[in-house]
Amino acid sequence: MTIKTDVLVIGSGIAGLFTALKISEFANVVLVTKKNKSESNTNYAQGGIASVIDPNDTFEKHVQDTLIAGAGLCDKVAVEMMVKDGPDRINDLINIGTEFTKKGDSFDLAKEGGHSMSRILHSKDLTGAEIERALIKSIEAKSNITVLENAIAIDLLTEHNQQDLKREIYKNQNCWGAYILDISNNQVLKIIAKATVLATGGLGQVYLHTTNPLIATGDGFAMAYRAGAEIGNMEFIQFHPTSFYNVKNSAEFNNHSFLISEAVRGFGGLLRTKDGEFFMHNYDERKELAPRDIVARAIDNELKKHGDDFVFLDLTHKTANEIIEHFPNIYNICLSQGIDITKDLIPVVPAAHYACGGVVVNLNAETSLKGLYACGEVTMTGVHGANRLASNSLLEALVYAFRCYESIKESFNKTVFSIPEILDWDDSGTLSYDEKVLITHTIKEIKQTMWDYVGIVRSDLRLDRATKRISNIMVETELLYKKTKVFNEIIELRNLVTCSHIIIESAKLRKESRGLHYSMDYKFSVPEDSIKNTIIKKLDQ
Ligand code: FAD
Ligand code: SIN
C-alpha cells in the first residue's frame, strides 16, 4: 500500500510529537511510531528540562555549563541557540497544558550535576510522562495529523534502495519517505513525503544495562547510515551513574534498568560504597554533582576496587516528607522492590543512558540528505560535544523540533517538489522465519560484547575484540535479513548490530580520552587539543 503525505514524521517522543504539532499549522502529517504512541525515552524522563527561568540565572551561565560538560567539543553557536531559544520553547509546552511543579507562584527549579544554578523545570519526578501527555493530547486534536501506531520504519526511501536511481557513491542523495512495516498485519507500506523527519530517539538497547526502554534500538541512526547520511561522534555514549540495582532480579527490570534521577543527587543524595564509605571527594571537588562521566567512572572504579556489584545512594539524612514530596515515583518503585528510600540506602549501578552523537544536522535540523530532517536524541547537533549536561536533552529535542518546522515551512514555500516513481517493497524469494530464539540470542551477544568492550572504560584491545565479534554478527545478520520476510525483531537486530559497528568505528578513530570516551591507552587531552568530530559515512552498499 502507498500513502502520500506532505511530511512523514518517524517517532512519537518529544521531538516527533512537537515537530508534528507545529507542522500541522501548514501541512498534512503522517506520524509513525513503532509501539503505542506514548512509548519513548521521553516518557521515562524524570529529572526535567533545563532552561534559564530564574531571574538570577543567565544565558551565559547555561552556555558555559554546557560547554564545560562537553569537554571542548561543543559547537558554541549551536549551544547558544539552544539556550537562548529555551524559554520560548518552554512557553510553548506550557501553552499546550504541560504542568511543571511550582513552589508558590514560581517554578520549583531543581539542580543537577554540572549546573551552576538551579534551572531544571520538572513535574515531580515524572517530567517526561507529563510532556508526552500534553503533546499527545494536542496532536489528537489535529485533524491533519494521522498517527500510525505499531508501524516500524524499515528504511528511508532514497536513491540507495531504488535500483534505477542507485548511485555508486552516495552524494546529493534525496529522501522521499520510508518503507514502514505495519506490525499488526506484517504488510510493508510505502509512505511518500515531500519532507521526512527522523525523530527515532536513542540506542541504549545496544548495551546489556540501560535505562532506555525496549524501543531504543537505534533504528534512526542505522537507517540514516544505510542511506549514506553523515553520522558523528558516536563514541560518546553517556552512562548514567545511578540506575537501580535490580536486587530482587524482578522481571520488569530485566529489559531496562529503573533510573534513580540525578535530581536525587541534586537534592543532596550521597554516594557510598557497600562498606559505607563516601568516595566522590576522591574524584572531583564537585563530588556527587560532578558531570556524569566523572561520577560514572568513579563508581565503576569503586566497584572494580572492592569487587562489589553496586554502590549505595543515601538520602536518609533528608526527611521522609521531603523525599516523598519530591520523588513520589522513585519512592514507590523502590518500595515495590523492598527498598524504603526514606530509611534504606538505594543500591545503584551505572547504565547506558544517552547517545551524544548521531545523525549530523545543521542549525536548521537538516541532515546531509536532501529532504531528510532530524531532531532529538538521534541527532548530532553539536550541543552536547563529548558529554551531555543533565536535562539538556529534552531542551535540545524541543528546540531542534521547532527548527525542523521552520526549515520545512521555508522549503515548502520555495520548492517545487518532483518525486520519482518509488519501487514497491520487494520480498520475492524470501521465506518466513520462525526461529526467533536465534535472534534473541544474537541480541544478547551484542549487548554483552558492547558492555564488556565498548563500555565506560575502553582500550585498543577491547575495541579490537569488539570489532571481530560485531563484524561476524553483522555478516550473519545481513545474510539472514536478505533471505527472510521482514519482521519486527529482525529489523531491530539489524539496527542494533549496525549501531554497534558505528560506535566501535567511531571509538577507534578517537585516539585520546575525552568526555565520555575513556580509553586506558590514551590520556585525557586538554580541550584545545581535541581531535574534532568523528564522522562515519557509508560509501557503498
Ligand atoms: P524518544 O522519546 O525516544 O522517542 C523516539 C520515538 O521513536 C519513540 O516513539 C519510538 O517508538 C519511535 N521509534 C524508534 N524507532 C522507530 C522506527 N524504526 N519506526 C517507528 N518509530 C520508531 N533527558 C532530559 O533532558 N531530562 C531528563 O530528565 C531525562 N531523563 C531521562 C530518563 C530516562 C529513564 C531516559 C531513558 C532518558 C532520559 N533523558 C532525559 C533523555 C531524554 O528522555 C531523551 O533523550 C529524549 O526524550 C529523546 O526524545 P526523542 O523524541 O528524541 O526520542
Ligand atoms: C535524570 O533524571 O537523572 C536524567 C536527566 C537526564 O538524563 O538529563
Of all helices (H) and strands (E), which one includes residue 396?
A: helix 392-414
What is the model's pLDDT at position 541? 47
Q: Ligand 1: which residue has its CA nearest to atom 40?
A: 45
Rounded CA separation 467/3 (Å): 40
Rg, the chain, Cα only: 22
Q: Ligand 2: which residue has its CA nearest to atom 1?
A: 261
Rounded CA separation 17/11 (Å): 8
Instruction: Give, for all 541 residues of the chain, the pLDDT tens digit.
Output: 999 999 999 999 999 999 999 999 999 999 999 999 999 999 999 999 999 999 999 999 999 999 999 999 999 999 999 999 999 999 999 999 999 999 999 999 999 889 999 999 999 999 999 999 999 999 999 999 999 999 999 999 998 888 777 665 666 789 999 999 999 999 999 999 999 999 999 999 999 999 999 999 999 999 999 999 999 999 999 999 999 998 888 888 878 999 999 999 999 999 999 999 999 999 999 999 998 899 999 999 999 899 999 999 999 999 999 999 999 999 999 999 999 999 999 999 999 999 999 999 999 999 999 999 999 999 999 999 999 999 999 999 999 999 999 999 999 999 888 888 999 999 988 888 878 888 999 999 999 999 999 999 999 999 999 999 999 999 999 999 999 999 999 999 999 999 999 999 999 999 999 999 999 999 887 766 666 899 999 875 4
Q: Using an 8 Å Cβ cutoff, are 5 and 33 in contact?
A: no
Quick one: DSSP state of residue 41? Answer: S
**How many angstroms does the Cα of residue 125 sit away from the middle of ligand 2?**
10
Is the beta carbon of 389 within 6 A of some atom in ligand 1?
no
Write out the three cell numbers for 440: 534473541
Taking alpha carbons only, the member of 336, 313, 312 closest to residue 266 is 313
In the chain the first and final C-alpha atoms are separated, in Å, by 26
Q: What is the DSSP string of 109-152?
A: -B--TT-SS--EE-STT-HHHHHHHHHHHHHHT-TTEEEESSEE
User: Which ranges in 227-319 belong to alpha helices (H)?
Assistant: 262-266, 292-306
Rounded CA separation 388/393 (Å): 8
What are the residues whose beta carbons fall under 8 Å from the beta carbon of 479, sequence distance 6 or more?
none
- State the closest ligand 1 atom to the C-alpha of 223, by its place in the atom list counted from 1: 18
Task: Considering every ligand atom shown, identify the ligand nearest to the alpha carbon of residue 114 and give its number.
Answer: 2
Q: List the domains of the chain with CATH numbers.
A: 237-353 (3.90.700.10), 436-533 (1.20.58.100)
What is the model's pLDDT at position 260? 97
Catalytic residue at 469?
Answer: no
**How many angstroms does the Cα of residue 473 sit away from the middle of ligand 1?**
26
What is the model's pLDDT at position 161? 87
**How many angstroms does the Cα of residue 259 sit away from the middle of ligand 2?**
8
Please state the pTM of the whole predicted model: 0.96
User: Which ranges in 237-358 belong to alpha helices (H)?
Assistant: 262-266, 292-306, 320-326, 328-336
What is the model's pLDDT at position 168? 59
226, 265, 292, 458: the active-site residue: 292
Task: Considering every ligand atom shown, identify the ligand nearest to the alpha carbon of residue 394 and give its number.
Answer: 1
How distant is the alpha carbon of residue 476 from its chain centre? 27
